[in-house]
Amino acid sequence: MNMLSDISLAPIIQPIVGSAADLEHLGDQIAELSAHLDAAGARLLDLIREFDARGGWNTGFVSCAAWLTWRVGLDRGAARERVRVARALGTLPLLAQALARGELSYSKVRALTRIATPETEERLLRVGTAGTAEHVERIVRGWRRVDRQAEARETARRHASRALHVYQDGDGMVVVRGRLDQEVGAVLLQALAAARETLHQRSRATHPGTGPADVSEETPTMSQQHADALALIAEAALHHGMDPGTTGERYQVVVHVDAAFLADPDAPGESVLEDGTHVPAETSRRLACDASRVVMRHDADGRVTEVGARTRTIPPALRLALQHRDRGCRFPGCGVRFSQGHHIRHWAHGGPTTLSNLALLCRRHHRAVHEEGYGVERPPDGELRFRRPDGRILPESPPPAAVPADPVEALRAQHDAQHLRIHARTAMPGWLGERLDVGWAIDVLHPLAASGRTEVETHVSKGGAP
């Protein structure tokens, strides 16, 4: 049997006047090969799931999808979708098996994995095998509408339950108890951590000699530290007239670095945040790579003798030219648009701020080259070259995969060896042509729709239930 030549020659030999039987045969071949490809696709998703779970992509790539884009040449959207479906199938064995047997197309599986859970998988598999791809798509859309309504109700319920109770206890202490929205909670936690750090720095500055021998000052417990931190937050908020500041100021980070230290991490000097927190040398070099900078000169006693004007490390005009040339992160397979200018040879080492010494890198990859041992160089031939931490070159695109001379034949042989019986009707839906009533179908299938029937009723057309 020689499938490949059948497929490619038949239309050439009989370009227009193919008999109906010939065309039916051609159609069968399309259906059969599609089922084979879907079965092979299931195997591919298994491999992707394992690679993802074991972090095989975590070699300078931001995600498994980014790695797939680079290694296999999928576009970003398709790569993300493959990873999503692969992960979902990890908990949906029935859908995974149906795909692996070629009985359910990848399109249907992709749609069904958006909504399926281990509890609903079995009935959704029946939808998948009975209905056409269009039916499946419509049911998934209706299902998600019910999910979204439930989610919106849940979010509204949670938000309505936000509360902060403050009352005085019998002994005069004030008791605080509350429930905060997630993002508000995150801000509170961040503020508590910052306030705790400030208090810690203050106590170190006022009691430098405090050691284990000093029993009069016991280290406060975490909840005591939180109580102190909350007091500082309240004081600071009142002191600053409740001004949350502009976003620019709010997240600005100031790093003080000694110039000699920036050029050589072994040199005397250090790199600290405004509150005195130590910053690793490589981190301060990354931050200095593309930042606004104020140069201050100190005398030996640390008194400031001269303050320069605030300048950008990379002047705006050069930044535009750099953006125009690189367009986005230059790390192999990345291309993220929001990126920072990286000095290939750091300016603290005398590297010039010129186009040839600069390359755009996204935040993730800027960290990779400064702090994770990845290398970037521009040899005399002018093309950027990246290296892994072990020194091996990270190519812009990977070497092509080995493909057998007749891939279709190899695929069929492999499926034969697995005793998979795939034929032209393997993926045929069981649908007999009756009208699909999506509203009724969702009402019957969706666990939430069944209980919250009033929400769904508006979508059910009159007399829909057969």
Residue 70 contacts Zn ion per CB under 5 A: no
Check residue 89 for interaction with Zn ion (CB under 5 A).
Answer: no
Task: Name the residue nearer to Zn ion (CB basis): 180 or 336.
Answer: 336
* C-alpha of 459 from chain center: 35
Q: Give the shortest CB-399-to-Zn ion separation in angstroms.
A: 22
Give the DSSP letter string of 396-449: SSPPPPP--SSHHHHHHHHHHHTT----TTTT-----SPPP-HHHHHHHH-HHH
What's the one-letter identity of residue 223? S
CB nearer to Zn ion: give 104 or 362.
362
Using the rule CB under 5 A, which residue among 85, 115, 334, 376 binds Zn ion? 334
Binding window for Zn ion (CB under 5 A); candidates: 44-52, 92-100, 355-363, 420-428: 355-363
Residues in 288-317 at the binding interface with Zn ion, rule: CB under 5 A: 289
By CB under 5 A, is residue 362 in contact with Zn ion? yes
Q: How many residues bind Zn ion (CB under 5 A)?
A: 8
Q: CB nearer to Zn ion: give 334 or 394.
A: 334
Least distance (Å) between residue 263 CB and Zn ion:
14
Of the pair 230, 291, the CB lying nearest Zn ion is at: 291
Instruction: Tell whether the torsion through CA atoms of 315, 321, 324 and 329 is positive or negative.
Output: negative
- Residue 143 Cβ vs Zn ion, minimum distance, rounded to whole Å: 36
Using CB under 5 A, which of the segments 188-196, 365-373, 383-391, 430-438 binds Zn ion?
Answer: 365-373
Q: Which is nearer to Zn ion, 289 or 442 (CB)?
A: 289
Which H or E run contains 222?
A: helix 222-239
| Cβ-based nearer residue to Zn ion, 58 or 117 | 58
Under the binding rule (CB under 5 A), the answer on residue 376 touching Zn ion is no
CB contact at 8 A, 385 and 379: yes
The runs of H, that is alpha helices, within 54-132 are 64-72, 76-89, 93-100, 106-112, 121-130
Please pick, from the candidates 82, 101, 145, 365, the single residue that binds Zn ion as defined by CB under 5 A.
Answer: 365
Residue 285 corresponds to which tokens in the numbers above? 């070099």
Contact segment (CB under 5 A) with Zn ion among 93-101, 271-279, 282-290, 453-461 equals: 282-290
Say which amino acid occupies 30. Answer: I
Among residues 82, 110, 342, 446, which is the contact residue for Zn ion, using CB under 5 A?
342
Quote the least distance from Cβ 392 to Zn ion, whole Å: 19
* CB of 372 vs Zn ion, minimal distance in Å: 12
Q: Around Cβ 396, how many Cβ atoms within 10 Å?
A: 14
Half-sphere exposure of 345 (CA within 13 A, CB side): 11
Stretch that binds Zn ion, among 94-102, 147-155, 334-342, 432-440 (CB under 5 A): 334-342
Q: Are strands 375-377 and 385-387 parallel, antiparallel or unpaired?
A: antiparallel
Q: Which of 262, 287, 329, 438: binder of Zn ion (CB under 5 A)?
A: 329
Under the binding rule (CB under 5 A), the answer on residue 360 touching Zn ion is: no
d(CA 284, CA 48): 37
CA atoms of 99 and 116, how far apart (whole Å): 15
Rounded distance between C-alpha atoms, residue 359 and residue 353, angstroms: 11
83 makes contact with Zn ion (CB under 5 A): no
Nearer to Zn ion (CB atom), residue 185 or residue 352: 352
Answer yes or no whether residue 331 interacts with Zn ion by CB under 5 A: yes
Segment interacting with Zn ion, rule: CB under 5 A, options 15-23, 149-157, 329-337, 433-441 = 329-337
359 makes contact with Zn ion (CB under 5 A): no
Contact predicate 371/402, CB 8 Å: no
C-beta closer to Zn ion: residue 45 or 361: 361
Rule CB under 5 A: say whether 319 interacts with Zn ion.
no
281: contact with Zn ion by CB under 5 A: no
Q: Which stretch binds Zn ion (CB under 5 A): 122-130, 168-176, 283-291, 451-459?
A: 283-291
What residues numbered 132-191 form the site for Zn ion, per CB under 5 A? none
Closest CA relative to residue 374, chosen from 353, 364, 264: 364
Burial class (CB in 10 A: 0-12, 13-18, 19+), 386: buried
CA–CA distance, 96 with 107 (Å, rounded to integer): 13
CA-based R_g, the chain, Å: 32
Q: How far is CA 259 from the centre of its chain?
A: 36
Minimum separation from the CB atom of position 347 to Zn ion (A):
10
Strand duo 339-343 + 385-387: pairing: unpaired
Q: How far is the CB of 463 from Zn ion (least distance, A)?
A: 57
To Zn ion, the closest distance from the beta carbon of 346 in angstroms equals 7
Q: How far apart are CA 427 and CA 104, in angstroms?
A: 6
Return the number of the residue (331 or 374) whose C-beta is nearest Zn ion.
331
User: Residue numbers of the site for Zn ion (CB under 5 A)?
Assistant: 289, 329, 331, 334, 336, 342, 362, 365
